[in-house]
Structure formats: structure tokens, C-alpha cells
Amino acid sequence: MNTKELYSVLEHFDFESDAKVYGNGHINETYIVDPKYIVQKINTKVFKEPDKLMDNIIAVTSFLQKKIVQEGGNPARETLTIIPTSEGHKFYKKDNENCYRCYEAISNTFSIETVENPHDLYEAAKAFALFQKRLADFPAEELSETIKDFHNTPKRFNDLLQAIEKDEMGRAKNVKEEIEFALSQKDWINAVTDGLSDGSIPLRVTHNDTKINNVLFDNATRRAICVIDLDTVMPGSLLYDFGDALRIGAASGEEDEVDISKIFFRLDCFEAFVKGFAEEMGDNLTQREVELLALSAKLLTYECGIRFLTDYLNGDTYFKIHRENHNLDRCRTQFKLVRDMDEKMDEMNKIVKKYFENEQN
């Protein structure tokens, strides 16, 4: 966004101060003003219905603010606060491709891009669990799906099958081993979607992007205090949030590491996350959710792996790439983690049982 366009946007929020580019998000353009406010340009190519997106965020943050006040907390620091435009609108819509929103900035906080130690993941787990617990009685069915079928693993599997069949770029011959592995996993990938369908897994408000950099930590205490980036908040399963947090948080290396011999699933990080999640969530999980916690880490990692593989086969049309075979490298790290988790699943389930039996007895 050029300077002239930026200032024309700021006028709709009655801001006269300078704005600077802020953060390193991959989806929305983000700016900080004053530094009391965060202004974002919503990526309408990804979020095609910004009105519904903002309705979700406003509904959830308003609900959280009331819960936090009831608990004696500080809503200005423990959840996001939307700033309406000077005209009283929930966001400024110049046209269908140029939509802007504003939040209050939360001062004296920092975010973590990669897990530095298991304790940080423990803190993040407490924050994501508290987010879930506070929203447990929110009517999840009233939220819109901002991205349809986002964590529908069987749907992602079918997308892969179509990409293999079409093979538009002639790349299938390069990834026979990856395709064979992906197809060999089909017998267990319906666990969560089947549970949501038959009611054994409750429909909840889910964040759907539980990377550690979507948690703000307090500068003074290094405690996790606020979950941010609510664009993908929608109805779903708590298992999506639990599993996706560990897909990256418990990995030994970067998502696009070329040398997959460096990639393995860290049980110390897994245990730290389970411990924090159990301490905060306690007995608010159903028995079936507890039974699938360990598997959910494997499931969400597999799902992301087949999405990378599908995009590679389709010609890299969805995920941004920065080198040749970038999506293939990403796919291989995810599949390496899936294999490693498969070998460690008994240990993972023992860790879950250790902490959740204590909380539920």
C-alpha cells in the first residue's frame, strides 16, 4: 500500500499519526499507528466475505470480553478489541478488494516465531486452552465458515486424488513415494469428521491457526496472555486446534527444511503442551476428545502434508513458494513427522493419560 492510500485509510479511523509496517504475517498487510493501534488490510482473495469474517471476530471478542470481566481479568490485554471507523462501521470498505480494520494494540507484549523451549509451548497451550474454555458455551453454529472445509481431512484427501489423476504439471512421476505414503494413510483420516457427524465430538468455536506466533506473551512475566489472529475462528473441533499447535510447535526443525534427517517429533514439547492444556482445560473435554488428542497431532500434520503435495502437483497455485520444489520440501517434512509420530504414538497416548487422568479424577 502506498503512502497516499494508507493515509486515506487512516482518515476513516480519525488517525493523523504516522503508520509503519508491522509484523511478518503472510496473509494480511499490517500497520501500527501511534503505537496504540493496529490497522490491517484484509486479504479478500483468501477471505472472500469480509463482512462475515468481521461478524465472527466481533461476536467472539465481545463474548470473551464479558467472560474476562466476570473472571476479574483485564479484557484490554486478554483479548482483541475492535476499533470501529469514525462513521461507526465495523471496518472500512473502500471496495470489494480493499477492506481495512483496526484493533487496539496490546502494549508490553511480544510474540515468538519458533519455539525456543518447551516452557513457551506450555504457556501457549494454557492460552489456547483458556480461549477454548471461555468459549465453551458460545453457540458455535452461529459462526460462519470463513474458509469452507478448512480442516476437513477427507475433503483434502479427495483434492489430492483429483490432483494425482489430472497431473496437470506432469509432476506425479517425481513423487511416487510421497503419493504412495499419502494414500496408505486413508483408513484413519476420518476420525474427527466422523465424530463431528455422529455427535461423539462436540462442535466448538475453534481458532484453526494455533501457531505459537498467534499468542502474545507479557514482556515482564513471559506468560502467555492473549490469543490473536482470529480470521479463521469458526465452528469445528477442539482437536483441530490441539493438533495444529503441535504440528509446528513440537517439530525439531523448520516446516521447509530440506534435510529431513533433521526432522523429528519432540516428545518434550508434546508433553509441555499437553500439561499446559490439561491444567487450563481440566475436565472440560469429552472422553472421545481426550482419546483423540495424540492422534490429532498426527492428523493435522498429515493434512498439511497432503495439502503441500496437492499444491505441488497443481503447479504451486496456493502456497507461496520461494524456490523450486518448495512445496515438495514442505510435504516431506510433514510426512517425516507423521512417520515419527506413528512410532511414538504409544508414548504420546501415555503422556495424555498421565495429565488428563489427573485432571478428570
Q: What pLDDT score does 182 carry?
A: 98
Q: What is the tens place of the pLDDT at every residue in 204-248? A: 999 999 999 999 999 999 999 999 999 999 999 999 999 999 999
Q: What pLDDT score does 169 carry?
A: 96
Q: Which residue has the cell 472445509?
A: 149
17 pLDDT above the threshold of 90 = no
Residue 3 pLDDT grade (very low, low, confident, very high; cuts 50, 70, 90): low
301 residue type, one letter: T
Which domains does the chain carry?
A: 3-107 (3.30.200.20), 118-360 (3.90.1200.10)
Q: How many CA atoms lie within 13 A of 160 on its CB side?
A: 25
89 residue type, one letter: H
Q: What pLDDT score does 44 carry?
A: 85
358 pLDDT above the threshold of 70 = no
Are 113 and 229 a contacting pair, CB within 8 Å? no
Q: Over range 174-199, report the average pLDDT.
A: 96
DSSP one-letter code for 28: S
Which cell goes with 145?
A: 465458515
Burial class of residue 188, CB neighbours in 10 A (0-12, 13-18, 19+): exposed
26 pLDDT above the threshold of 60 = no
Phi, psi (5° rounding) for residue 82? Answer: -80, 135
Q: Over range 314-340, report the average pLDDT.
A: 94
Q: What pLDDT score does 222 carry?
A: 95
Average pLDDT over the chain reads 92
82 pLDDT above the threshold of 90 = yes
302 pLDDT above the threshold of 70 = yes
Are 51 and 110 a contacting pair, CB within 8 Å? no
114 pLDDT above the threshold of 60 = yes
